[in-house]
Amino acid sequence: MNFDFSVLVSNPLINVGVVSWAIAQILKTIIHMIKHHEFKKERLAGAGGMPSSHSALVCSVLLMSYLEYGFSSPIFAMAVILAMIVMYDATGVRWAAGLHAKAINDIVDYLGDESKHNKKILNDMIPELNESLGHRVIEVICGALLGFTVSLVQYFCF
């Protein structure tokens, strides 16, 4: 049985989503390198930061579904709803979770400063939490614009 690998690249919605996500993650890594003068490979797949790769992905699929299937299609309707949920979550729930992670990390650091013994116990019990989970509104907007741009390029140029 032979697998036809062309199936993997035959769906324009999947293609545009994956390309948008990858470009956003690469841009996020480059922006982090410029801003902090360090390369962090975690930025290539991590959440949070500029631009929002989640927003880029869902907005590219949203626009491509409109261009391919039209405003009245159920695929476009689902893409709109999914994009709204993802972008709301990025600026709301995940942003708040990042703020909570920062507060917990600060508390652990403060308590750990009391003694080396406390620091070891706390570090064993509570590993440092990821503070970069959500997005500011501008990061979501930039991700959305990136997704729209990738869709337009793919639709009109390829």
Report whether pLDDT(93) > 80: no
CA distances from 158 to 15, 62, 145, 155 (A): 11, 18, 19, 6
Question: Which tens digit of pLDDT belongs to each residue from 2-53?
Answer: 777 777 778 999 999 999 999 999 999 999 899 989 988 888 888 788 999 9
Q: What is the mean pLDDT of residues 92-114?
A: 72
Q: What is the mean pLDDT of residues 129-135?
A: 68
- The rounded distance, in Å, linking the Cα atoms of 119 and 100 is 20
- The rounded distance, in Å, linking the Cα atoms of 64 and 82 is 14
- The rounded distance, in Å, linking the Cα atoms of 40 and 26 is 11
Average pLDDT, the chain: 86
Report whether pLDDT(1) > 80: no
